[in-house]
Amino acid sequence: MEKNIAVIRGDGSSPEFVRETLRVLDRIAEKYGHTFRYTEVAMGGDAIDKYGDPLPEAELQKCRESDSVLLGSVGGPKWDSLPGDKRPEKGLLRLRAGMGLYSNSRPAKIWKQLSDASPLKRSIVDQGIDFIIVRELTGGVYFGEHKTETVNGEEKANDDMVYTEHEIERIGRIAFETARKRRNKVTSVDKANVLDTSRLWRKVMHRLKEEYPDVAYEDMLVDNCAMQIVKNPAQFDVIVTENMFGDILSDEASMITGSIGMIPSSSLGEGTVGVYEPIHGSAPDLAGMDKVNPMACILSAAMMLRYSFAMAEEADDIERAVGKVLDLGFRTADNQSEGCTVLGTAAITDEILKQI
């Protein structure tokens, strides 16, 4: 197959792990007889430096025209003092909205080789951590009206949180369909004791669950969910929630796996064109040091092969190779433990390439 991949190399140490990920994709192309073409797209700090805009329309258009987007990570202290609209993160939000990517999947799965790295007690970890957060990505407070004004001599800020029925229903469907391919359980997370958007969320989810009688369903308040994730993570299969709750809970969920450097993500809309990115940041303090863990980005590329290109065997191949490299005791600095061999970004990728 021939595929056009838009590549956003990102900021900080991101260009290093994206570069290594492309080596893995090239190896897969060679082994399975595919052709992957890469189109460079500037976004975030890189685009601010080049064009004074975190995602110029022409760059967004390249992403829309691609078969999928591989994204590193954007942002860094250099751009931190810019106003909200000019910040690197704005590029990311525009990319999500501009491509209609309303469904963000973030798996929280512990790699058995790294279970000592989890901050949770061994007795909790051993019950298993393998769930997925399905986060609504183009609605809610992120995309409501934002306004700061002066009222009665003081500044007043306002961020509107908005949801419509169809926005809730389509993300709900993704959650139920995902659960059917896993362990058949959906936990819908909201704040229905306080928020109108959450009461609407719950109403739509309850309507929808009637269509999926084979899937176990429960409602959970977001504050309780934050507790349950550390108390008893084994209870979860698919968590579905709105944009900001998903942002917060997915960081918590990544933390309990012990290795944020291992977690990939996918963002999809109606078609098969998605954005695939590690959930960790651009680690600007590690830039240029050949230290950063490329695995989350490499595993994101595997997700791209699986979900956007229907290349399941190729995706399995990458995931198996990563597991094998961990089995062999190779680690990057973020995951180092006794008896392991610590390698740099490029050298650990060499090991992964050997296993493909």
Is residue 89 a contact point for ligand IPM (CB under 6 A)?
A: yes
Known catalytic residue at 142? yes
Strand order in the sheet with 130-136: 35-41, 2-8, 68-71, 274-278, 264-268, 103-109, 130-136, 238-241, 185-190, 216-221
Instruction: Tell me which of ligand IPM, Mg ion, none is bound by residue 136, counting a contact when its beta carbon lies within the kind-specific cut-off of 5 to 8 angstroms.
Output: none
Q: What is the CA radius of gyration of the chain?
A: 20
C-alpha distances out from residue 181 to 61, 103, 104, Å: 33, 16, 17
- Answer for which of 11, 247, 317, 334 binds ligand IPM (CB under 6 A) is 247
Contacts of 338 (CB under 8 A, 6+ apart): none
- Of 129-137, 244-252, 297-305, 340-348, the window that binds Mg ion (rule: CB under 5 A) is 244-252
Give me the catalytic one of 126, 223, 285, 327. Answer: 223
Is residue 242 a contact point for Mg ion (CB under 5 A)?
A: no
Instruction: Tell me which of Mg ion, ligand IPM, none is bound by residue 175, counting a contact when its beta carbon lies within the kind-specific cut-off of 5 to 8 angstroms.
Output: none
CB of 244 to ligand IPM, least distance (A): 8
The mark string for 38-67 relative to Mg ion (x by CB under 5 A, - otherwise) is ------------------------------
Known catalytic residue at 290? no
Alpha helices in the chain (DSSP H): 14-32, 45-51, 57-64, 88-98, 122-125, 165-180, 196-209, 222-231, 243-256, 295-307, 312-327, 345-355
CB of 250 to Mg ion, least distance (A): 6
Which CB atom, from 275 or from 292, has the smaller least distance to ligand IPM? 275
> Cα–chain-centroid distance for residue 28?
22
Which CB atom, from 237 or from 247, has the smaller least distance to Mg ion? 247
**What is the C-alpha separation between 143 and 167, in angstroms, rounded?**
12
Which CB atom, from 89 or from 270, has the smaller least distance to Mg ion? 89
Is residue 92 a contact point for ligand IPM (CB under 6 A)?
A: yes
Number of other CB atoms surrounding residue 277 within 10 Å: 29
Known catalytic residue at 191? yes
Amino acid letter, residue 248:
I
CB of 343 to Mg ion, least distance (A): 28
Which CB atom, from 285 or from 327, has the smaller least distance to ligand IPM? 285
Known catalytic residue at 247? yes
Amino acid letter, residue 42:
A
Known catalytic residue at 219? no
Across the strands, what pairs with 203?
Answer: none
Across the strands, what pairs with 220?
Answer: 189
Which CB atom, from 249 or from 325, has the smaller least distance to ligand IPM? 249
Binding site for ligand IPM (CB under 6 A): 89, 92, 247
Q: Which residues are known to be catalytic?
A: 142, 191, 223, 247, 251
Binding site for Mg ion (CB under 5 A): 247
